[in-house]
Chain A
Amino acid sequence: MSFLAPSALALLGLLPVIVLLYFLKLKRREEPISSTYLWRRAVEDLRANAPFQRLRRNLLLWLQLALLALAVVALARPASRVLRREGRRFICLIDTSASMAARDVRPNRLAEAKRQALELVANMAGEDRMMLMTFDVKPTILVPLTDDTARLRAAVNALEPRQTTTDFAAAVDLVAALGAQLRGAEVYLLSDGGFEADSLTETPDLPLRYIRIGQTGENLGITACEARRSLERPGETQVFVKVQNFGSLEADARLELYLHPLEPGSAGGLGPPQLLDARRVKVPAGDSVGVVFPYGTPESPTAPAPGLLRVVLAHEDDLAEDNTAWLVLEAPHKVRTLVVSPGNYFLETALRNDPLAAAQVVGPEEFDREVSSEALALGEFDLVIFDRHTPRSLPPGAYLFLGAVPPLEGFSFRGEVEQPVVVDWDQVHPLNRFVNYSHLFLERASLLEVPADAHTLVEGDSGPLLLYWSSPGYRVVVAAFDPLASRWPLRASFPVFLANAVRVLGGVESAGGAWSVRPGSTITFTVPPGTSQVTVTYPDGRSAQVPVRYELVTSGPGRPSEAPQGRSEGREAVGRSQEAPPGQVTFGDTYRCGPYLFTLGEKARRFFVVNLLEPRESDITPRPRLRWRRGTVAGRSQVVRENREFWPWFVLAALAVCLTEWYIYNRRVYL
């Protein structure tokens, strides 16, 4: 037996006080009596005949001492390891997200969670069975329901922190999906609660025990980092950093900006880092501060060379993972634009007059004949505009379709409408910046079947007229009408829209933002035909081989296309085309933050950077309680083991002693 609140035992120090009070107490009531003659004789008789009289007379004292002792023991919460009910089933759900790397508990939260999980495993007996799950950006079942404690222990020991966001809802969904075979199981959640749990609408009908890992929330982190290039002055670059303070004290930190210039000759592809700038930032508690590092401006005329930018927040706090952010800084260049058009004066004129666009125009036949999909896939062009022409296949890239339907899954032609009317348009989307569609009069437009996640830019009375769709690798804008069949090209809004399309689709503004992904996201890119292998170098220096997938026809992101019946033309084209298709690299092991270097053959290299930049993870304050099944579950900091507490019995005993004492005091019935 042990005590859960042993400090209460200090109250036993009151025992001597009671004895003392007993000695002090006897303020006897005076009672006049006819004569003390008989009483004195009785008292003397009693003393002579009852050797235990003193003890008996002190019965009340003994009872009071017993009462106090029992009450104190009850307060100290005596408990013993529970007699295990055999055949229990647990789901041990361990949070491995970035916030679990916080070091407010030593060595870190994940280690503490592992320790508790091991204790849970050690507590298993008989037919107890446990399932081990982890969750971060996605849930993973590490060990299915088993009573093999060695396997569970090994799996727990092998856990490593992953610098990702947390998707608790996905884990709950998985648990709910497993619900049938886990009926009656208990869910042990070992987490700091750093996720959006309150948005859970439906939770499985399983009891949750939330073991709260973590103590404090003192953390300063970079929650946003972006490099922007000026639209009009390509040499001008601004690096924007947002520093957020999640603690309860004002923080004073140094923000340092390093450049790792590209050096094709070196082993890692990067030269030695150069300190570009350093700033002191003062962030009030619970607030955030934005810092801008400008380059190529009159104040700071030199623009950094292409390479990787590293922003470091030099500050000691509980979570180090969010103190560094990486950016890929590309050399400034114009948007290489390919226009596939049978001839469009307005389009070509508008592009020619755009200082950021470097347009090249080809006819449709010429495009089908001469421009290989390899060229598109390798990113020789930043933007391809298809004017009234539909290509056979579409590798990942940025496209603008005018009066044509992209050959992608989800897009199809349903018919035409005459003289559609503009109903509304999205005025805040960057593509619609400074564009007014109120004078857009169309002769006719196509009725399109579009993917559900397509964003409508201009809404017509019978369907979308202009829409934007993006998915990994693709950024597509589709105009469901031919601009030449309208008066739009004559209006100022047409060149303005084209300029927006060049900037947004061509990726001018983000200055390398395309190469930055969130932890746990998949990186997809195409490689030249014949590339047999790609080597990835992780931020920690490890390297691994990534297979290259070759597919006959790419009609969607990573999905082999079942050529539809109505498009026999496309199948013929595939059969006819003997050119080797480009390969695809899909890489998902992006669980650590930092730069990932992909080496394709001898000299081709490509950097991707993985940044956390997630306020929800940087906010490491452990959540005290979780909502679960129309109630809340309070987090407990410890107690994986179950204690059976005995204090109610002690309270009952104390009550019984109290009643006895009361009875004896009132009735004076001693033994």
Chain B
Amino acid sequence: MSAELESAAGGSALAARYQDILSDEFISKIERLRLVSRKVIVGRIRGERLTRKRGRSVEFADYRQYVVGDDLRFLDWNLYARLDRLFLKLFLEEEDLHIYILVDASRSMAYGNPSKLDYARKVAAALAYIGLANYDRVVLGAFAGGDLRLVGPVRGKHQVLRVLEFLASLEPEGETRLAAAFKQFALTHRRPGVVIVVSDFLDKAGYEDALRYFLATRQDVFILHLLAAEELAPTLTGDLKLVDMEDEDTTEVTISAPLLRTYRRTVESFCTSLKNYAGSRGLNYLLASTAVEFDVLVLDYLRRRGLVR
């Protein structure tokens, strides 16, 4: 563990508890990464100030025509003098980057080996650490059964223990109710930033309504669709009574090659439709399997997709 984390944790014994979530070795690999938002211009000196007050930046961005009601202070009088028309100067706004990491903690996430929740924990911890290391404002949330539990915002590496404690405290419980959780999130967190949703999206009510809550914000939404390797390519055999881990619903199946083929097609179309839905609405989508080592996911996949740089 890095020196900062160690000091923040207040001792190696405490820090050692979270080694399985975030190891020293991995921290050294992600130390220099940072999270990137395409929608939000990150101030060069972001996080240098601790004040909440935000001024407007001096960096010119564009002009637009004046309409009644605009702040007269931003009129370009020079242009008015030359062209006899009123133009308003637009400046890029400088803001701190908010990073929201939402982890699905429903019972379905307990499936797989390693379980999807464990995997999601590690990914969330890594991303949060990247954010903290870059003085971004990191909000960590876990949703299960329609509830949303949040921690943060936190900023700075010394806060990493809070993040890890929160992640370690997650237990799979409740059903997946994306819509309720996302609605709650959207109502309370409207600041622009990067929203990373780590979930299996196995919501019987569908994900479409839920994802709509992100559309109205200026947030850069990143969907990490996490499925267990056993879900993508099941190794089940025999005559089975499949029991839903969330709602105890059962389905009787006799595993056969055609059924497995159909299942795989179904999974594929499920992922594709989620991807298409997200893509058409400006949401980023990445399908992740627990079969992929999570450091590969963070260091390679997410990098290529432009979430981290």
Contact = CB atoms under 8 A, between A and B. Distances in A.
Given A50-B258, A56-B256, A668-B237, A36 B267 contact: no
20 contacts: A26-B239, A28-B239, A28-B241, A30-B240, A31-B243, A32-B111, A33-B111, A33-B242, A34-B116, A34-B244, A34-B246, A36-B249, A38-B231, A42-B259, A43-B251, A45-B266, A46-B259, A53-B258, A57-B256, A668-B238
Sorting the interface of chain A by its residue count into under 10, 10 to 19, 20 to 34 or 35 or more gives: 20 to 34
Interface of A: 26, 28-43, 45-46, 49-50, 53, 56-57, 666, 668-671
A33 B259 contact: no
A36 B270 CA distance: 13
A34 B200 contact: yes
A33 B236 CA distance: 10
B41 interface: no
The 4 nearest A-B residue pairs measured at CB:
A34-B111, A28-B241, A42-B263, A35-B202
A46 B262 contact: yes
B177 to A, nearest CB: 13
Contacts of A670: 256-258
* Residues of B contacting A: mostly: mixed
B262 A34 contact: no
B26 to A, nearest CB: 26
A25 to B, nearest CB: 8
Contacts, number: 104
B245 A45 contact: no
A34 B250 contact: no
A32 B247 CA distance: 11
Contact of A42 (B116, B237, B241, B262): B262
A56 B258 contact: yes
A120 to B, nearest CB: 57
B204 interface: yes
B265 interface: yes
A592 to B, nearest CB: 79
Given A41-B270, A43-B253, 11 more contacts: A26-B252, A30-B241, A32-B243, A34-B112, A34-B200, A37-B244, A38-B270, A41-B266, A42-B263, A45-B266, A668-B260
Contacts of B267: 38
Contact of A49 (B250, B257, B262): B262
A34 B108 contact: yes
A40 B258 contact: no
Contacts of B251: 36, 39-40, 43
A49 B243 CA distance: 24
Interface in B194-247: 200, 202, 204, 228, 231, 236-246
A34 B231 contact: yes
Nearest to B202: A35
Given A42-B259, A42-B263, A31 B236 contact: yes
B228 A668 contact: no
A309 to B, nearest CB: 88
Contacts of A666: 237
Given A36-B244, A670-B257, A29 B202 contact: no
Contact of A31 (B112, B204, B240, B260): B240
A349 B163 CA distance: 151
B236 to A, nearest CB: 6
A37 B202 contact: yes
B12 interface: no
Contact of A30 (B112, B243, B254, B257): B243
Given A28-B252, A46-B258, A668-B256, A37 B231 contact: no
A56 B257 CA distance: 10
Nearest to B251: A36
Which of A35, A36, A43, A46: most chain B Cβ within 10 A? A35
A646 to B, nearest CB: 34
A139 B231 CA distance: 87
Given A26-B239, A46-B262, A36 B250 contact: yes
Contacts of B259: 42-43, 46
Nearest to B231: A34
A45 B204 CA distance: 17
A669 B259 CA distance: 10
B256 A38 contact: no
B255 interface: yes
Contacts of B260: 668
Interface string B265-295: 1110010000000000000000000000000
A31 to B, nearest CB: 5
B242 A39 contact: yes
A658 B58 CA distance: 83
Nearest to B267: A38
A668 B259 CA distance: 10
A668 B266 contact: no
Contacts of A49: 262
B258 to A, nearest CB: 6
B238 A29 contact: yes
B240 A29 contact: yes
Nearest to B242: A33
B262 A45 contact: yes
Which of B228, B245, B258: most chain A Cβ within 10 A? B258
Contacts of A39: 242, 251, 253, 263
Given A42-B263, A45-B266, A668-B237, A37 B204 contact: yes
